[in-house]
Amino acid sequence: MSDILRPVLTFVALLVVWEAAVRGLAIRPFYLPAASVVLADLWSAPSLYFHAVVRTLTETLVGFVAGVLFGLACGTLFAHARFMERMLFPYFVVSQTIPVIAFGALIIMWFGNGLLSKAIIAFYLTFFPVTVNTQRGLSGVDEQRIALLRSFGAGSLKMFVKLRFPHALPSIMVALRLGISLSLVGAIVGEWFGDVTGLGVMLVHAMFNEHIARLWGVILICGLLGGALYSAVTAIERRYVFWRAEV
């Protein structure tokens, strides 16, 4: 219960501090409107916000889930096919040091301004880190443990289920946390190229109209969405992956 109550109370406290700071310090609405003004804007157009959230959330989740599944498969393949790993894995690592989100522009040009193109952007942003961390987690298993299990007559599949995969999970979860944040970023940025609904679209429209209260409203919603998605991944991690990398 306190797992839910604590963040809610913190959020309410932040809103109170926000309201008090704007009134107390007389901050200009051009920079930061009072929390009550921003909440009033949310209240004034609930269906607009709601549809935007549904759209962006769908793009994020579809891409994320597909990226996780494909990344797990690729990482497992790399961990078992050594030669393929040595040929291609370095490029997966390099991909994490370049702004791959820029390739999103090409995805939009190929697949148009629909839901699909954003899901694909979220997909590949998730797929790269999950592949890298799955491979690393699966390959980092202590050789002695493998030898021990093998001496008990465990085959490759049993070895994977009982030893390698559990060992890799903490490292995979790190990639999932990164992936969910990147997926949301990818979906929002992908919507800047001329879509019609979504949180990214609302951001662009509010910017062109210099509608500061709306802009902060979307930022607030983006923060809640980002926080909720991240917490969901960490909650799964705490619930199912209670062991650590050493075990």
Partner 1 sequence: MARGSLTRIGDSWPPVVGALLIIALWQGSVVLFKLPPYVLPGLGSILERMVVERTILLQGLAMTGAEALAGFAIGVAWGLGLAIAITMLPRMERPIMPLIVGINSVPVVAYAPLMLIWFGIGPASKIAMASIAVGFVILLNSLQGLKATDPAAIGLLRSFGAGSVRILTKLRLPMAMPAIVNGLRVGIVRSVLVVIVSEMLGAYRGLGWTIYESTQQTDFLRVWAAVFAASAGSLLLYGVLVAIDRKVVWWR
Q: Residue 166's closest CA among 69, 245, 238? A: 245
Candidates 39, 165, 230, 237; binder of partner 1 (CB under 8 A) is 230
Task: Name which position in 83, 143, 153, 242 contacts partner 1 (CB under 8 A).
Answer: 83
8-state DSSP, 114 = S
Residue type (1 letter), 95 = S
Q: How far is the CB of 168 from partner 1 (least distance, A)?
A: 21
Q: 232: Cβ–Cβ under 8 A, 6 or more apart, which residues?
A: 180
Binding of partner 1 at residue 213 (CB under 8 A)?
no
Q: Please, are residues 130 and 179 in contact by the beta-carbon 8 Å criterion?
A: yes
Q: Which stretch binds partner 1 (CB under 8 A): 38-46, 151-159, 191-199, 234-242?
A: 191-199
Among residues 64, 104, 55, the alpha carbon closest in space to that of 202 is found at 55
Residue 23 near residue 34 (C-beta atoms within 8 A) = yes
| 119 counts as binding partner 1 under rule CB under 8 A | no
Q: Which stretch binds partner 1 (CB under 8 A): 34-42, 116-124, 161-169, 202-210?
A: 202-210
Biggest alpha carbon distance in the chain? 73
Nearer to partner 1 by C-beta: 15 or 159?
A: 15
Q: Return all residues near 215 (Cβ < 8 A) that are at least 6 apart.
A: 203, 206, 207
Options 219, 233, 234, 237; binder of partner 1; rule CB under 8 A = 219
Is residue 138 a contact point for partner 1 (CB under 8 A)? no
In degrees, to the nearest 5, what angle opens at C-alpha 47 toward C-alphas 13 and 231? 45
* Residue 46 or 99 having the CB closest to partner 1: 99
Residues forming contacts to partner 1 in the complex (CB under 8 A) are 10-11, 13-14, 17, 30-31, 83, 86-88, 90-91, 94, 96-99, 101-103, 105-106, 108-110, 181, 184-185, 188-189, 192-194, 199, 203-204, 206-207, 210, 212, 215-216, 218-220, 222-224, 226-227, 230
